[in-house]
Structure 1
Amino acid sequence: MKITELYPDVITEGLNYELKTVLSQDNPLKWAKTIVRFANGEGGIIFVGVNDNRDAFGLSIEEIDKMKNLVVQINDRHIFPHAKYAFSMRSVDNDAERFILAIKVFLSDSVVRYRDGDFNETVYVKGDGYTTPASPEEIVSLSRKKHGVDNSVSDVPYDKKEWSRYLTVCGQYRKNNSLPDEKELQNEQIVSKDGYATTGLLMFKNDYNDPDSMITCRLWRGSNKAGEVLDTGRYTGPLLDVFDNALTFIERNTKIGWKKTSEGGREEIRSYPREAVREVLVNAIAHRDYSIMGTQIDVDIYQDRIEVVSPGSWLLPKPYEQYPVGSIPSIRRNQTIAACLDVANLMERGGTGFQTIAGSYRQAEPEKQPIVASYPGFLKLTLFDLLYGNSTDNENLADFDAVIEEDESVTEDQRKIVQLLRDGPMAPKELQEASSYQSRGSFLKYVINPLLADNKIRKGAKGGRLTTYELVNKSES
């Protein structure tokens, strides 16, 4: 009998497990390091009485008892802190004479080591399909993951002058523009009772500049990463500064249009609801796994969508789509960072951020509803462009063309430029190639600058070769 037949309800594609014929008493490290690895990772199961071909031949009751006693003995003498585990058995024959021993190892709250002698301790983690000693960097990362990166009390006294930028943002978003005082921050456990900042609050300090706060933003031509990057930004620093810079990048590189109202006026519409964009960024900052070294939040803007990828897997037991709208439980990976965002009135205390995102898209077609996708090690949230390819956008552009046609001051070259920009932002060099001007200076003076002055187009990305221009759909009337 194969082990997969004996344990069809347990062995799954994503399960961590190892197969052992027996547990050696002479060389316990050979199997005990797997216990350490599982305790340091996501837990797992060791099946004893199985060969390399996955044949479950089983062990006698006497042998099972010896294996259990050996695990207890090695865990007590060599594994620190002691691993938590549970034994179970299943018979491999009808006579119930031979059994498979399953040792289920649970995830530990601390970094687990294998101790060999008084001064030799090794931390074991999962390698590329095997168990390997952890490097110093991996031990630091593992420790941060186990103990949290934001809830320890630092040795930095809280001084509101050193957090003035954080307090300024609090004033912008809080009711009545009030600022939190030290007592409120202490009540939220953001500042200790004796006045010291937590490590989470340090990430909002004016001079914070560690790379773990990074958000990388890119604007792509087209619908995938095979196209040209039209604009890019890499932002580090205090978390709310990074948030503000990323929000500005998205605002700069997405459309703001308008639609006719029943009263004959015009109403502003956006490619992406402002509240949805804000919630996506805030949730990415609050819930990313800061213990994964060398990573950042990625924001990619395509012609039809925005994708925000954040390090750290989905924390809930079921996929996002299996929770009814309005009933997603609130689980926070970074308690103090989330509390800082709560105090600033940027994050919903009830964990309703995803509901806010879904609510802002309630009038959108089914194919344009936001998507949450969880992968091993990261989470991706996709927002779709509400103006892309729909009738409102087409009517908007048609009305825009009519205004251009009726304006006798618009030259033929300018009409060509407007037509090209209907497909999205473009660089000056590309636009000039479609005009009759050979001189860049003359092209800018007689084609681009008048369109800018009349607010028919605007600058997108700023800075050198990455400068782009785009239509200003919102101001036509």
Structure 2
Amino acid sequence: MKIRELYPDVITEDTSCEYKAVLNQDNPIKWAKTLIGYANDKGGTLFVGVSNDGEAFGIDLEEVDKTKLLISRINDRHIFPHIKISYMMRSVDYNAEHFVLAVKVAPADSVIRYREGDYNETVFIKGDGNATPATPEEIISLSKRKYGIDNETSEVAYTDNLWSEYLNLCKEYRQDKSAPTMKELQNEEIVSKDGYAKSGFIMFSDNYNEDDTMICCRLWKGKNKTGIVLDSSRLRGSIANVFTNALNFIERNTKTGWVKTENGGRDEIRSYPKEAVREALVNAIAHRDYSISGTQIDVDIYSDRIEIVSPDSWLLPKDYNAYPAGSIPSIRRNAIIAACLDVANLMERGGTGFQTMIESYKFSPDEIQPVVSIYPGFLNLRLYDRLYRDEAIELDLEGLTAGEKVMAILKMEGPKPIKELQTSLNYRSRSQFLNEVINPLMESGDIYRDGKPKSPTALIKIKR
């Protein structure tokens, strides 16, 4: 029996249908790439129990059940986001002992990829009879046609009072300090025409408390994670809230120095340019892979650098080293989240984020230029401390009061134990140092103690 006798509309293998005798469970990518190719196109059907020449010999019910379980397992473990599949069976004999199983794949709203091993990912597209890895140009084109997992219309109606944190973020960063109107949000497709928030915009709402927006921040003593954690924070909540709190964590745990000018004055210089830190954090939030459960964005501050690591995959087939940091093609994984950041004036549609980071380091030596690293399942943005190696920048305490000296040290070198500050200011008496310097600064709200009063590990930190 030929397949067209069971399914009259099927003539031959093409971009919408393909035949398989059985599905190989030891090498699933051979057939899974076909399912992915269908999902990335207009959908399609994979017929199991059919030879290459269209002969429908069928498989028994036990094999049908095994095939369905195999497809379900591969879809759950290797295909992201998961594809929508339905099944249809038709018998090939009068006794109904053997069947052709039609595996129908629905077109996906987002770019589907196959994840193998330790998160190496490939995007497949369907050609005439074959599914092949997509080229960079094809991925970019596909991304423009598809929606992300953040683009589903929710049942939550948009109201200002449920998005106050996001509106405050917009007021802080938009040039005119205004909040976006409903019309503007609808024009950007953040809110539907009927007034309902898209799933990505829900992640900016005040009451959002899922783990997928988590950012874990740590301050390390030294250049690696074998050192002591001096400060840490696990941030949860709306994207607007965790973004603001992550910036505050970085601000309070990085240094500010001064460089002497020719006329005897001094100019303030930060370890990390504000715009570079902001762009790196925005990039991590906008492009992270929210389909990888149990992960978060990590912000690690070392003595010489900041590393912002986000769950991500390199969708472009060409190795990332082939793209200079300032000219990496912009592929928006999360269109609605990116649009929300764009409306808040935190992200430009031109994909200039990396270029902004490079520009902010234009007067720095080559060895401390921003670095983008890709390793399985994650993307690492590394910013180097501009004060760490620059001998021209020094901590000048001359002419400052004791309180000003403490503030200068904390800004330049980060949080310090009281004993270390006492030694730096040449105070012999701890009680005198506390009464004359530390306590007044704490009472004025300039600093605070992180830890118990008598604990040797307690740190004095700037309150921001």
Q: Compute the TM-score of the two structures, normalised by the length of structure 1.
A: 0.65
What is the rounded CA distance, in whole Å, between the counterparts of 1:274 and 1:334 in structure 2? 24
The equivalences for 1:366-405 within 5 A come to 366-393=366-393, 396-397=394-395, 399-400=396-397, 402-403=398-399
Give 1:263 shift: 3.4
- For residue 348 of structure 1, what is the aligned residue in structure 2? 348
Amino acid at match of 2:348: E
1:111 counterpart = 2:90: no
Give 1:427 shift: 2.6
Say whether the 8 Å CA contact 2:448–2:462 is kept in structure 1.
no
CA deviation map 1:8-63 (0-9, x unaligned)? xxxxxxxxxxxxxxx995x65546855454457899xxxxxxxxxxxxxxxxxxxx
- For residue 240 of structure 2, what is the aligned residue in structure 1? 240
- Residues 1:204 and 1:126: Cα distance change in structure 2 (over 3 Å): closer
- For residue 165 of structure 2, what is the aligned residue in structure 1? 165
Q: Which runs of 5+ in 1 are unaligned?
A: 1-22, 44-65, 84-105, 130-145, 473-477
- For residue 265 of structure 2, what is the aligned residue in structure 1? 265
- For residue 310 of structure 1, what is the aligned residue in structure 2? 310
1:181 counterpart = 2:153: no
Say whether the 8 Å CA contact 1:36–1:114 is kept in structure 2.
no
Amino acid at match of 1:198: K
SS of match in other structure, 2:367: helix
Say whether the 8 Å CA contact 1:40–1:108 is kept in structure 2.
no
The equivalences for 1:74-223 within 5 A come to 111=83, 148-223=148-223
SS of match in other structure, 2:313: coil
Amino acid at match of 1:199: S
- Residues 1:24 and 1:117: Cα distance change in structure 2 (over 3 Å): closer
1:468 counterpart = 2:459: yes
- For residue 287 of structure 1, what is the aligned residue in structure 2? 287
How many residue pairs match? The answer is 372
- Residues 1:30 and 1:341: Cα distance change in structure 2 (over 3 Å): closer
Say whether the 8 Å CA contact 2:280–2:357 is kept in structure 1.
yes
1:445 counterpart = 2:417: no
Higher RCO, 1 vs 2 (CA within 8 Å, ≥6 residues apart): 2
- Residues 1:268 and 1:41: Cα distance change in structure 2 (over 3 Å): farther
CA deviation map 1:208-267 (0-9, x unaligned)? 111111000000001111110000011111101100000000000001111222333221
SS of match in other structure, 1:247: helix
Say whether the 8 Å CA contact 1:39–1:112 is kept in structure 2.
no
What is the rounded CA distance, in whole Å, between the counterparts of 1:308 and 1:202 in structure 2? 24
Give 1:117 shift: 6.5
Amino acid at match of 1:389: R
What is the rounded CA distance, in whole Å, between the counterparts of 2:266 and 2:55 in structure 1? 74
- Residues 1:453 and 1:460: Cα distance change in structure 2 (over 3 Å): closer
Say whether the 8 Å CA contact 2:327–2:354 is kept in structure 1.
no
- Residues 1:454 and 1:318: Cα distance change in structure 2 (over 3 Å): farther
- For residue 416 of structure 2, what is the aligned residue in structure 1? 426
SS of match in other structure, 1:166: helix
Say whether the 8 Å CA contact 2:255–2:414 is kept in structure 1.
no
Give 1:330 shift: 1.6
1:231 counterpart = 2:231: yes
The equivalences for 1:49-88 within 5 A come to 68-69=52-53
What is the rounded CA distance, in whole Å, between the counterparts of 1:293 and 1:369 in structure 2? 32
- Residues 1:73 and 1:158: Cα distance change in structure 2 (over 3 Å): farther
- For residue 53 of structure 1, what is the aligned residue in structure 2? none
- Residues 1:37 and 1:167: Cα distance change in structure 2 (over 3 Å): same
Give 1:379 shift: 0.2
What is the rounded CA distance, in whole Å, between the counterparts of 1:255 and 1:309 in structure 2? 21
- For residue 338 of structure 1, what is the aligned residue in structure 2? 338
- Residues 1:305 and 1:152: Cα distance change in structure 2 (over 3 Å): same
CA deviation map 1:153-175 (0-9, x unaligned)? 00111112211221121112112
Q: Compute the TM-score of the two structures, normalised by the length of structure 2.
A: 0.67
What is the rounded CA distance, in whole Å, between the counterparts of 2:334 and 2:24 in structure 1? 35
What is the rounded CA distance, in whole Å, between the counterparts of 1:113 and 1:445 in structure 2? 71
What is the rounded CA distance, in whole Å, between the counterparts of 1:169 and 1:71 in structure 2? 62
What is the rounded CA distance, in whole Å, between the counterparts of 1:435 and 1:267 in structure 2? 23
SS of match in other structure, 2:382: strand
SS of match in other structure, 1:189: coil
SS of match in other structure, 2:357: helix
Amino acid at match of 1:318: K
Amino acid at match of 1:174: R
- Residues 1:439 and 1:161: Cα distance change in structure 2 (over 3 Å): same
- Residues 1:420 and 1:202: Cα distance change in structure 2 (over 3 Å): closer
Give 1:363 shift: 0.5
SS of match in other structure, 1:233: strand
What is the rounded CA distance, in whole Å, between the counterparts of 1:305 and 1:249 in structure 2? 15
- Residues 1:148 and 1:461: Cα distance change in structure 2 (over 3 Å): farther
What is the rounded CA distance, in whole Å, between the counterparts of 1:471 and 1:280 in structure 2? 23
What is the rounded CA distance, in whole Å, between the counterparts of 1:319 and 1:357 in structure 2? 21
- Residues 1:117 and 1:24: Cα distance change in structure 2 (over 3 Å): closer
- Residues 1:460 and 1:357: Cα distance change in structure 2 (over 3 Å): farther
